[in-house]
Structure 1
C-alpha cells in the first residue's frame, strides 16, 4: 500500500536540503534591525517612516521631475487615497509641492521642496552609513544561501 504522507525533506549537515533556516532567520533579523534603525532615524528627523519613504520615492523614482500620486501609492504599496493624504501632510509641512505635468495638464506631479531635499539628504547620509556598516554581514548571510557548487 502506498504511503499517503509526503516524504520528509532530506537533511544534510543539520539543514533541510536546499533550506538554511538559520541563515534565513539571520537575514530577516538583519533586515528588521535596519528597518528599526530607519524608523528611529526618520523620527529624529521629525518624520514618520512612511513620510521618509515617500520623500525617497519621489526623489529616486521621479528623478527630479516628480511623480504622480498613483505611482507613489504603487511604490509604497498603499491605496491611492492613503497616498493623497500622505502628500497632503507632506505639503502642509512644506516638504513637497504639487505641480501640473508639463506633458499632460490633467496630471499632477509631486516634487520635493528645498526643505524636503534637505531632510532627505540628511536621512540618506545616515542610511548609507548604516548600510555600509551592515553590508559585510548581509553579504556573509547571502553567501551561505547560495546553492552548493557541484
Structure 2
C-alpha cells in the first residue's frame, strides 16, 4: 500500500485498481453489516462495541484514557465522554481516576463488558477469517 500512496492524485487508476477497490469496499461493507447485526443482537450499539474493543485492545494494558479512546475512535473528546457515560450506565465500563495523573480518567471494562466484548470479538474474528487475504494481508499490499 505504501507505494500506492506515492501515486500522484492526478494519476488515473487502472481498471484493475478500480476492481480491487470495489471488491475491498464490498467486503468491508459486508463485514460492517455483519458487525452491526451481531452487535445489536447482543443489545449494544456498534460504537459501544468499538469502545469496548479499544479499551481492552489498547497496546500494553487493558484500559485506556478518554483522550486515547477519542483518538482511536477519531471522535471529539466530548463525544467520547458521552459514549463512555452511556457504556457506564449500561454496566459495560467503569471510570477510575489515574494514580499517576489525577487529571486523567482511565476507562476499564466491567466483567459484563468483558464478557460482551469477548463474545462479539470471537464472532468478528471468525467473520474476518472468512475474508482471507482481504484483511490479513492488506497492510502488505
Partners of 2:75 and 2:28 in 1: CA distance: 21
Q: Does 1:105 align with 2:116?
A: no
Where does the alignment leave 5 or more consecutive residues of structure 2 unmatched? 1-10
Match of 2:14 in 1: 16
Q: Does 1:81 align with 2:78?
A: yes
Partners of 1:82 and 1:27 in 2: CA distance: 29
Q: Does 1:59 align with 2:36?
A: no
Match of 2:41 in 1: 44
Pick aligned residue for 1:28 from 14, 25, 28: 25
- Once superposed, what is the RMSD of the aligned Cα atoms? 2.5
Q: What TM-score, normalized to structure 2?
A: 0.82
Q: Secondary structure at the match of 1:134?
A: coil
Shift of 1:106: 2.1
Match of 2:92 in 1: 95
Partners of 1:60 and 1:25 in 2: CA distance: 29
Pick aligned residue for 2:112 from 107, 115, 119: 115
Runs of 4 or more, structure 1, over 3 Å off, are: none
Partners of 1:31 and 1:88 in 2: CA distance: 29
Aligned residues: 129
Q: What TM-score, normalized to structure 1?
A: 0.77
Can you list the C-alpha shifts for 1:100-141, whole angstroms capped at 9, x where unaligned?
1121122111000000000000000101111111124x27x9
**Greater radius of gyration (CA):** 1
Pick aligned residue for 1:131 from 128, 131, 139: 128
Partners of 1:16 and 1:98 in 2: CA distance: 50
